[in-house]
Structures are given as structure tokens and as C-alpha cells.
Amino acid sequence: MKPGLDIVPTSEWGFFTLPRPMCIAGPCSAESEEQVMETARGLAAFGIHVFRAGIWKPRTHPGSFEGVGSKGLPWLRRVKEELGMKICTEIATEKHVLECIKYGVDMVWVGARTSANPFLMQEIADALAGSDIPVLVKNPVNPDLDLWIGALERLNRAGVRKLGVVHRGFSTASRSHYRNDPGWRIAIELRTRFPELAFFADPSHMGGDRKYLLELSQRAMDLGLDGLMVESHCDPSVALSDAKQQLTPADLKTMLESLVIRDNSSDSRAYKEGIEQLRAQIDVIDENLLWLLRSRMDISRKIGSYKKEHNVAILQTGRWDSLLAEMVRKGGEYGLSETAIRAIMTAIHDESVRVQNEILEG
């Protein structure tokens, strides 16, 4: 399928008046009218203009708090009427869409467990046809770019033109200390293919812990993303869902003020193609390289134990010579010089021998 989405830019949504980052904030879940109002007041006080709160919560485990349901929608409407904020919530079915339209919800988002399901995406797209509500699509739980794009295409074909995405990381087998693997590479690819899409990062679900919010938000900004969706609760210690990752409005203000925003004009495409963004991409790749090296060394340790058990010498020169020759050949296909490949592989091999030695001597 030919890429290309028919998009209305965020500048025409009437939502985000302040410079980058465009910020959506609010609790993981709407829990009570008081909690919603107190949090929203705290956020509105420092200029947050778009309020989020989950009404229907798709939880991984049954028995967890699954949201207050439609009875929370009047609370959101109060936020809109009394504080003048735009209100948004997560939808996953046709019924949710119809309820949101009924209560004047300004924007909806599709969660990670829903965007992975083409049947639900089609149901939502059909329900939204004819309405003018902006829709943000979170990445599917698994790192499948085509599934994410497919979800966007379904909405777009149904006539949803105020469209954006929220990158919340991927629930793959844990590769990092974060709750979800940031997988920035995939986000960058989507961004490159559809530069017109409003692009948010969700550092709350990515990090899973408030202590990571600043570094993840900074990374999102360095990569040139447009905005942030951050979970904020008036009292995170008693939150019914995602307590660990929520910030008080005051702490969110501090966090946002600590961000270094190198480009404060959201439509400066020139900057986004610029050096800072490229450097941020390099940082992502370097971090991935470190992860790969660590995984490789873990395997070396296993090989070390295996050799020890079977009383075999560490250095198997035949194996090393053929491995190196193969890497030089493959590297050549990627346009990498023989000198570089020899140097890199020799350094890796040296480290691997050192690691195996530790095991044998241990």
C-alpha cells in the first residue's frame, strides 16, 4: 500500500497554543469527581490546556481497577466547562466512541492493547466516521510498525483527518530497566514516513516509574517529537492505577521546566532534520549497541562455563578466523571497511576471551 495520510495539522485543531512540547496531562484513571477536579485545577494553574483521564481502563490482569466507566464523563465535562481545558480519554469500542461524542469529549486516544487489533480498529473507525474529533493512536504493544500504520490508515479512510500518534514503548521481553522498551528506532521510522502526523511520546508508560520521566521526555524532545502525554495525579500515592509513574501537577511543572527544548517552533522542519536530531538518533543506536554487546558477553560467559565443564581451551583459532572472515565479507556488503571491521571484531573478541577467562579461572 502506498504510504500517505490525509492529515489536518495540529495548528488547525485549536488545542495546542503554547510552544513545544504540546502537553497532554492528567491521571491514568478518573477515580472520583474530586480527584479529577483537583488534578485538573493543578494542571490548568500552570498552563496545561489538554486534560487526559482514563474512563475505561484496559488492564492486563482482571480484577485490577477497570475504570469508573461512563459515570466519569460528566466529571470530564466539568473540567471542560469550569476550567476551559480540552478533555480526552481512551476509547476501545464503538460504545466508548458514542459516549464520548455524547459528553463533548474533545479528543480520544486508542490504547496500545487496542491499536494491535484490526477488528477493534475498524469498529472504532466506523464509529468515528462523520465526527470531527481528533484521534491519537498509541503504538501497538508489540513493535510492529505496519500494525500501527494500519490502525492509522483505517481511521484515515473513515475520514478521521485530525490524527496523531503516541509512542509509549513496546512490551517486549524486557530489554531495559524501563517498563516498556522505548524502541525509539521504530518511532523515528514512523516519524520519517509520516512527518505530518502529530507525534507525542508517553514517558509515563514507557518508564513505568516517575524517576525516568525527565530523561525519557528529554530524549523525545531531542528526537524532535512534538509533544508529551504525561500521567499526573493530585495524590499519586493513592492512585488506583499506575501509581508509581504518576507525578503531582507541581512535580510535572518542575519536570517540564527542566526540559531543554532546543527548538521552540513546532513547525521548524529545518531544525527537526538538524544536527541535534541526528545526534539523538546516534545516541539511540549507541545504546542499542551496548545492549547487544552485553547480550553477546552473556553468551560468552555461558560458552565459558560450557568449555570449563568439558575441559576445552578458550581459544578456538579456526572458529575465530572463519568468523572474522565472514564479518569482513558481510561488513563489505554494508559498505564498512575491512580495517574497521577487523578492529571492532578484534576488540569484541578480546573482551569475550577476557570474560571467558574470568569464568574458567573463577
Question: Which residues are at the interface with Mn ion (CB under 5 A)?
Answer: 28, 242
If the CB atoms of residues 10 and 246 are measured against ligand PEP, the closer one turns out to be 246
Angle at 85 between CA 81 and CA 88, to 5 degrees: 100
For the beta carbon of residue 326, count every other beta carbon within 10 angstroms: 11
3-state secondary structure of 261: coil
If the CB atoms of residues 226 and 242 are measured against Mn ion, the closer one turns out to be 242
Residue with cell 571497511: 337
Partner interacting with residue 111 (select from Mn ion, ligand PEP, none; CB below 5-8 Å by kind): ligand PEP
Q: Where does this chain touch ligand PEP (CB under 6 A) — which range of 10-18, 111-119, 157-165, 276-284?
A: 111-119
Q: Round to whole Å and give the CA distance between 234 and 227.
A: 22
Angle at 347 between CA 346 and CA 351, to 5 degrees: 115
If the CB atoms of residues 24 and 280 are measured against ligand PEP, the closer one turns out to be 24
Cross-strand pairs, 50: 24, 86
Q: Tell me the site size for ligand PEP, rule CB under 6 A.
A: 10
Residue 168 within binding range of ligand PEP, rule CB under 6 A:
yes
Q: Which amino acid is at 263?
A: D
If the CB atoms of residues 112 and 152 are measured against ligand PEP, the closer one turns out to be 112
3-state secondary structure of 66: coil
H-helix or E-strand spanning residue 86: strand 86-91
Which is nearest to 159 in space by CA: 118, 128, 190, 182?
Answer: 128
Partner interacting with residue 308 (select from ligand PEP, Mn ion, none; CB below 5-8 Å by kind): none
Residue with cell 502526523: 197
What residues between 126 and 165 interact with ligand PEP by CB under 6 A? 138
If the CB atoms of residues 13 and 109 are measured against Mn ion, the closer one turns out to be 109
Which of 112, 125, 163, 256 binds ligand PEP (CB under 6 A)? It is: 112
Partner interacting with residue 31 (select from ligand PEP, Mn ion, none; CB below 5-8 Å by kind): none
Q: How far is the CB of 113 from ligand PEP (least distance, A)?
A: 6
**How, if at all, do strands 107-110 and 22-26 pair?**
unpaired
Partner interacting with residue 226 (select from Mn ion, ligand PEP, none; CB below 5-8 Å by kind): none
If the CB atoms of residues 242 and 263 are measured against Mn ion, the closer one turns out to be 242
C-alpha cell at 283: 545516541
Q: Round to whole Å and give the CA distance between 221 and 204.
A: 15
For residue 359, CA distances in Å to 177, 286, 350 come to 26, 27, 14
Residue 111 within binding range of ligand PEP, rule CB under 6 A:
yes
Q: How far is the CB of 118 from ligand PEP (least distance, A)?
A: 17
Which of 162, 205, 233, 253 binds ligand PEP (CB under 6 A)? It is: 205
Which of 54, 134, 182, 249 binds ligand PEP (CB under 6 A)? It is: 54
Q: SS3 breakdown of the chain: % helix, strand, coil, rounded to 5?
A: 55, 10, 35
Residue 210 within binding range of ligand PEP, rule CB under 6 A:
no
Q: Round to whole Å and give the CA distance between 262 and 343.
A: 36
Q: Where does this chain touch ligand PEP (CB under 6 A) — which range of 40-48, 107-115, 121-129, 246-254?
A: 107-115
If the CB atoms of residues 219 and 233 are measured against ligand PEP, the closer one turns out to be 233
Q: Which residues here bind ligand PEP, judged by CB under 6 A?
A: 28, 54, 90, 111-113, 138, 168, 202, 205
